[in-house]
A and B are shown apart, each in its own frame.
Chain A
Amino acid sequence: MNRRVTRAALVASIVRKDFREFSRDTLYIFLSVLGLVFFALTYYLVPDTVDETITLGIHQTGLDELVEEFQTGADAADGLDVVSLDTADHLAAAVAGDLAVYETDAGDVVLVGAGAEAEAPAGATRRDVTVGISFPDRFVASMVDGERPTVTVYTGTAVPPEVAGAMTSFVREIAYSLTGHELPVAEPDAVVLGPDRAGDQVSLRDRLRPMLVFFVLMIETFALSSLIASEVLNRTVTAVLVTPARVGDFLAAKTIYGTILTGGQALILLVVLRTLTTASAGPLLVTVLLGAVMFTGIAMITGSAGKDFIGTLFYNMIFILPLLIPTFSVLFPGTAAPWVQVMPSYPIIDALTRVTTYGAGWSEVTGSLLLALGWVAVIYAGGLLVLRRRVQRL
């Protein structure tokens, strides 16, 4: 019998078989569906709005004029709200969350014990005091006498340290002002480098989006590496390779299967998150494709290395956990540390963030995509090499 079968047909047969096997594995189907549902729910459950206002609590005696000046300034500026409290202890308790602070329409401040919010006056607005400044009695007089009074700055645990630092500088500036001195520098002129997002801050939901997409890519790596490990450990690949199929066909099939499995689910999530728009489709598809191929390469390595399910899981953890580190940079905006920026997953996360969060186009993500392409080439080539050697040594 003399039949000819094309390489494409061989690869297609193996890919079909892989999907059939995947569809029969209840655990991985469950994890895939659960992952998609969980990530979509997470996305829609986190807040879509941003409250960037900092409520500053002040305790003072004899500085009413100063507080009034603050409040007038705060009313004019975005992001600062000032509440005056009568004692330093109340201020500390309010910042610590032991007291709830309410402000009536008449401007009166009412304090209620935490957990007893029902006792708050009707119609009063709650003020979450996250930062407080307590000026000591005779603050001005002490300064005039040349003493060095102590001003206490209270900050809650959730307040970034830079805010506490800013408050300290703020107090120092007040002291200069009250003693009739001018600061030895001109008022700093703040220049925003890059898009100025004042008043247009990114919500937690938007920040989560690239992270969730990356998580989906990662989860499917487990399914793919498990399938590869199963082929190697059960030696079904040996049975395939005594047919007209060659190692190259096997590797090509695993690449296609892995890319469709991981990339496909990431795209489904992007659609569910209503992120895949006409404008973003091009850069997003390329980014997801690069991510899918990268994780396929990793699955080839981990699937070849594992001696059983636990071993495969272990090797997946070793590879994947470090790659997750750059995803947290999207939750904590700012420049990522240099060592984070050189990680293989960073350019993919960066491109995903720029496109999904800030609506970046090709020109803004080309650099990241080129860097990602370099990493993907290295990791995928490594995966091919490791899996080829493993299969040939069976």
Chain B
Amino acid sequence: MRATKGTTMTGPAISVSGLRFTYGALEAVKGISFDVAPGEILGFLGPNGAGKSTTIKMLTGQLRPSGGGARVLGIDVSTDDPELQARIGVCFEEKNLYLNMSAKENLEFFASLYGIKDPDADGVLRRVGLADRASDRVKTFSKGMRQRMMISRAFINSPDVLFLDEPTDGLDPATAAAIRTTIQEEADRGVAVLLTTHDMFEADQLSDRVAFLNAGEIVALDTPENLKLRYGSRSVKVRLREGDGIREETWPLDDAAAATRLGALMTSPDLLTMHTEEATLEHIFIRLTGRGLAG
């Protein structure tokens, strides 16, 4: 957790316990449990059909859980209390904006649904770099601009919890970086963020913790560092010049003989490169589930 500024909440912002959901005979979410603290970003990772969207729909009040329970900001999500929606922000994967309305009109309309009389639409648009396009209809926006509009809409009610579904999907690196910065700023002011993404780099960079979801179950939940340490190989790969060619050696870090050998190599003129063999989140996911995230 990087910061918890600006929050008065002491318990978890999101608390999920044994949450289940079934579509007919199909059990889409199989009794998952996790917490998200104020100011924490939890990366929710899993392939399509893993149960991510269903979980978010339950937590945002769009679906009623089949079993278990969940509280967001202390409110039971199955009670249909509008107070829940008043205090959350949701960024959908699909760009569901009113295309014939301007950026500012879109934000003002959604602000009115939260009972906000004088929303700071210009200020919110400024945060995502769209202040100069406030009066333009959204249908004239590029894909990246629409994505930034989606983020700004999620911010319009100054939510305490953000649900972000693939917020940087398909964006150019500069726009994606700008959106990540904005998300981090929200977390820094104490907002709890549940982030679903296929982008392992993004999950690694933004998330305080990540949850691997597969076939409706959480198969791992920890900080990226701990997951890498737990499931990585803890080894060092060195590349050495050997005659006209290059030779590679891999040494496990827990081996006493490796320390002696690596110490010697450090002063060798033949040493070209030395890298720790740290596992990526994707490698860990495949190792745990036997399948990739893209599927």
**Which of B95-103, B182-190, B214-222 is found at the contact surface with chain A?**
B95-103
Asked if B196 is at the interface of the complex by the 8 Å CB criterion, the answer is no
- Looking at the assembled complex, report how far the CB atom of A16 sits from the nearest CB atom of chain B, in whole angstroms: 8
**Which of B111-119, B248-256, B262-270 is found at the contact surface with chain A?**
B111-119
Asked if A240 is at the interface of the complex by the 8 Å CB criterion, the answer is yes
- Looking at the assembled complex, report how far the CB atom of A394 sits from the nearest CB atom of chain B, in whole angstroms: 8
- Which of B90, B100, B113 contacts A13 (CB under 8 A)? B113
Whether A242 and B62, one on each chain, are in contact in the complex, defined by CB atoms closer than 8 angstroms, is yes
Q: Which chain A residue has the least Cβ–Cβ distance from B95?
A: A234
Whether B62 and A3, one on each chain, are in contact in the complex, defined by CB atoms closer than 8 angstroms, is no
Whether A3 and B85, one on each chain, are in contact in the complex, defined by CB atoms closer than 8 angstroms, is no
Q: Enumerate chain A residues within 8 angstroms of B60, measured Cβ to Cβ.
A: 242
- Looking at the assembled complex, report how far the CB atom of B176 sits from the nearest CB atom of chain A, in whole angstroms: 22
- Which of B99, B101, B110, B137 contacts A239 (CB under 8 A)? B110
Asked if A205 is at the interface of the complex by the 8 Å CB criterion, the answer is no
Whether B100 and A17, one on each chain, are in contact in the complex, defined by CB atoms closer than 8 angstroms, is no
Whether A24 and B113, one on each chain, are in contact in the complex, defined by CB atoms closer than 8 angstroms, is no
- Which of A1, A2, A239 contacts B96 (CB under 8 A)? A239
Complex CA distance for A24 and B83, rounded to whole angstroms: 33
Whether A10 and B113, one on each chain, are in contact in the complex, defined by CB atoms closer than 8 angstroms, is yes
Asked if A5 is at the interface of the complex by the 8 Å CB criterion, the answer is yes
Asked if B92 is at the interface of the complex by the 8 Å CB criterion, the answer is yes
Q: Which chain B residue has the least Cβ–Cβ distance from A3?
A: B115
Complex CA distance for A334 and B99, rounded to whole angstroms: 50
B139-179 CB contact bits vs A (8 Å, 1 = yes)? Answer: 00000000000000100011010000000000000000000
Whether B94 and A13, one on each chain, are in contact in the complex, defined by CB atoms closer than 8 angstroms, is no
A13-24 CB contact bits vs B (8 Å, 1 = yes)? Answer: 110110011001
Q: Which chain A residue has the least Cβ–Cβ distance from B87?
A: A1
With A3-B86, A4-B115, A21-B100 known as contacts, the answer to whether A13 contacts B109 (CB < 8 A) is yes
Whether A2 and B86, one on each chain, are in contact in the complex, defined by CB atoms closer than 8 angstroms, is yes
Complex CA distance for A328 and B97, rounded to whole angstroms: 43
- Looking at the assembled complex, report how far the CB atom of B70 sits from the nearest CB atom of chain A, in whole angstroms: 15
Whether A20 and B105, one on each chain, are in contact in the complex, defined by CB atoms closer than 8 angstroms, is yes
Q: Enumerate chain A residues within 8 angstroms of B67, measured Cβ to Cβ.
A: none
Complex CA distance for A234 and B150, rounded to whole angstroms: 14
Within residues 1 to 45 of chain A, which ones have a CB less than 8 A from any CB in chain B?
1-5, 9-10, 13-14, 16-17, 20-21, 24-25
Q: Enumerate chain A residues within 8 angstroms of B110, measured Cβ to Cβ.
A: 239, 243
Q: Enumerate chain A residues within 8 angstroms of B113, measured Cβ to Cβ.
A: 5, 10, 13-14, 240, 243-245
B59-95 CB contact bits vs A (8 Å, 1 = yes)? Answer: 0111000000000000000001011011110101010
Q: Chain B interface mostly helix, strand, loop or mixed? A: loop
Asked if A53 is at the interface of the complex by the 8 Å CB criterion, the answer is no
Whether B96 and A242, one on each chain, are in contact in the complex, defined by CB atoms closer than 8 angstroms, is no
Q: Which chain A residue has the least Cβ–Cβ distance from B159?
A: A1
Asked if A246 is at the interface of the complex by the 8 Å CB criterion, the answer is yes
Whether A25 and B100, one on each chain, are in contact in the complex, defined by CB atoms closer than 8 angstroms, is yes
Q: Which chain A residue has the least Cβ–Cβ distance from B112?
A: A13
Complex CA distance for A3 and B116, rounded to whole angstroms: 8
- Looking at the assembled complex, report how far the CB atom of A115 sits from the nearest CB atom of chain B, in whole angstroms: 55
Q: Enumerate chain B residues within 8 angstroms of A244, measured Cβ to Cβ.
A: 82-83, 85-86, 113-115
With A4-B115, A239-B110, A243-B110 known as contacts, the answer to whether A17 contacts B98 (CB < 8 A) is yes
Asked if A238 is at the interface of the complex by the 8 Å CB criterion, the answer is yes
- B82, B85, B113, B158, most chain A CB atoms within 10 A: B113
Q: Enumerate chain A residues within 8 angstroms of B98, measured Cβ to Cβ.
A: 17, 21, 236
Whether B153 and A242, one on each chain, are in contact in the complex, defined by CB atoms closer than 8 angstroms, is no
Complex CA distance for A128 and B263, rounded to whole angstroms: 120
Q: Which chain B residue has the least Cβ–Cβ distance from A13?
A: B112
Complex CA distance for A102 and B19, rounded to whole angstroms: 93
A335-369 CB contact bits vs B (8 Å, 1 = yes)? Answer: 00000000000000000000000000000000000
With A1-B158, A17-B109 known as contacts, the answer to whether A243 contacts B114 (CB < 8 A) is yes
- Looking at the assembled complex, report how far the CB atom of A233 sits from the nearest CB atom of chain B, in whole angstroms: 10
Complex CA distance for A4 and B80, rounded to whole angstroms: 15
Q: Enumerate chain A residues within 8 angstroms of B160, measured Cβ to Cβ.
A: 1
Q: Which chain A residue has the least Cβ–Cβ distance from B81?
A: A244
Whether A20 and B101, one on each chain, are in contact in the complex, defined by CB atoms closer than 8 angstroms, is yes
Q: Enumerate chain A residues within 8 angstroms of B86, measured Cβ to Cβ.
A: 1-3, 5, 243-244
Whether A236 and B96, one on each chain, are in contact in the complex, defined by CB atoms closer than 8 angstroms, is yes
Within residues 116 to 132 of chain B, which ones have a CB less than 8 A from any CB in chain A?
116
Whether B97 and A242, one on each chain, are in contact in the complex, defined by CB atoms closer than 8 angstroms, is no
- Looking at the assembled complex, report how far the CB atom of A254 sits from the nearest CB atom of chain B, in whole angstroms: 15
Asked if A241 is at the interface of the complex by the 8 Å CB criterion, the answer is yes
With A13-B113, A20-B101 known as contacts, the answer to whether A242 contacts B87 (CB < 8 A) is no
Q: Which chain B residue has the least Cβ–Cβ distance from A243?
A: B113
Whether B85 and A243, one on each chain, are in contact in the complex, defined by CB atoms closer than 8 angstroms, is yes
Complex CA distance for A245 and B114, rounded to whole angstroms: 8
Asked if A389 is at the interface of the complex by the 8 Å CB criterion, the answer is no
- Looking at the assembled complex, report how far the CB atom of B28 sits from the nearest CB atom of chain A, in whole angstroms: 14
Q: Kindly list 20 other residue pairs between chains A and B, CB separation below 8 angstroms, not including A234-B96, A235-B94, A246-B80.
A: A1-B160, A2-B86, A2-B87, A5-B113, A9-B112, A10-B113, A13-B112, A21-B101, A24-B100, A24-B101, A24-B137, A25-B100, A238-B62, A239-B97, A240-B113, A242-B60, A243-B85, A243-B86, A244-B114, A245-B113
* CB-based closest 7 A-B pairs: A5-B115, A244-B82, A24-B100, A243-B113, A3-B115, A13-B112, A235-B96
